[in-house]
Structure 1
């Protein structure tokens, strides 16, 4: 049995791509646009039903490119659209028939111009991103590794240090959680410890630099334990995590 042509893909490429590429987005895979801009990886993704009229939602969201557990298919900061009614457009977002798909993508373009693009502009800095994290209804993100990385990216290193310190030293373990979640907690603690070690190394080398010419202080520094981290600064650690994600998800060509 012949498969019905993917008209949504056709008009995503013919119509939508010509609009979003002006803002630095490119097709990452069918129905997914990506761009890496500053400390963020931005995504616009279609979630299409596999049956019936091929109706769809659009997810648009941001992730921290330096977050060591980045999952480009999920998000904390972002939104979902099922239609463009907010802008007075009653077009149904479905694409089984060609004309229907064309009208739907034209409606998506209107939603992009009036809703999606303005949102990306409004949440374009680390402070705005942090505000989105802490305003989540469950508020768990406020003390997460993700928020620590965001604070570090924003220059609030003390806040990031305290979050990581609390996470590393948290001895509570819910007996009801599964092994996968326990492993995730352990991995997050390990990443937090990497951050703490990098922060300690940064302080050590800053003291050494600032004390150049003062033999007494330099002598005292030689008596201190050497930093555990081979990474000499928080910025260097964030850069390592960023580069790892760009390589892992093959994002180099999506850097705006």
Structure 2
């Protein structure tokens, strides 16, 4: 799909503020007006191969003329979803609460989207028990700075909670040690050596070591160094990491961190959203 679709669509116009003064439109009217205007937009750009759906989720509290809407765009290559605020004529990507400075879109998306169905059996348990009442699927890169901040934040917030964390690898190409750290983690867990915390806390000097030096360092901490090294080099370990990245991409993940709290997504380092998600735990 052409990248310009949402870049052009998601323009914030001051005229949108005027929508607050109008009488609130019924959901069906907003949807119909939005579809009509999307049709005009795509026609003007000669993008007639793009189809679209408009689903009105709920009105915005206090600004009833605006609706929280899910837009779904499709063409021959892919499908893309986007949540926005609109009166059918204007699009607002997010609305910020003046008192808190926080946007409300993330909260509404978390509230209204269904939980993803993720096969935990294909992931590695990094923290907690498989019998826990709650779970988090952590899609992450051990060398990602925002993933590290997320890890430290959640480590404190989850203390004493009945929760399991399952790791899904997403090593980013521009982090030179992300791939080897993913393999070290898997090889360690296979030998009952959990390097989860330590891999998130490596220093720049340690990251500058060669892959062989890194493997030697962690191997010395295991019960069988030779077996650990063999696991790190095993094609099956590399395949597991690659397969998990494909699974994350199929979920729509494009960057890290991305966390599923009992199946509900919070993307990025967003402490207020982490807190909200943890509040929903059983």
TM-score, normalising length: structure 1: 0.27
TM-score normalized by structure 2? 0.26
Larger helix percent: 1
